[in-house]
């Protein structure tokens, strides 16, 4: 929780992980993707691109 400096309202600063998960699943359904939509493939493809770009595996 944090206080918004402009409005002085106390609110959650970060999104809950289930919010992101639900958004990914809903997007997959809208695109008529039959496989289960999760954040895991995004994480893996991001790591793959970093490795291809020459980043050290230990920093990923």
Helix (H, G, I), strand (E, B) or coil at 7: coil
Q: Is 17 a residue whose pLDDT tops 80?
A: yes
pLDDT, tens only, 31-59: 998 888 788 888 888 999 999 999 988 88
| CB-based burial, 35-49: b 16+ in 10 Å, e otherwise | eebeeeeeeeeeeee
User: Which whole number is the average pLDDT over 22-35?
Assistant: 89
Record the pTM: 0.53
Please give the share of the chain, as a percent, with pLDDT higher than 90: 28
């Amino acid at each position: 929780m944090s206080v918004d400096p402009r409005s002085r309202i106390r609110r959650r600063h970060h999104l809950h992980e289930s919010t992101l998960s639900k958004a990914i699943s809903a997007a997959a359904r809208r695109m008529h993707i039959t496989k289960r939509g999760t954040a895991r493939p995004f994480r893996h493809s991001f790591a793959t691109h970093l490795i291809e770009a020459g980043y050290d595996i230990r920093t990923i």
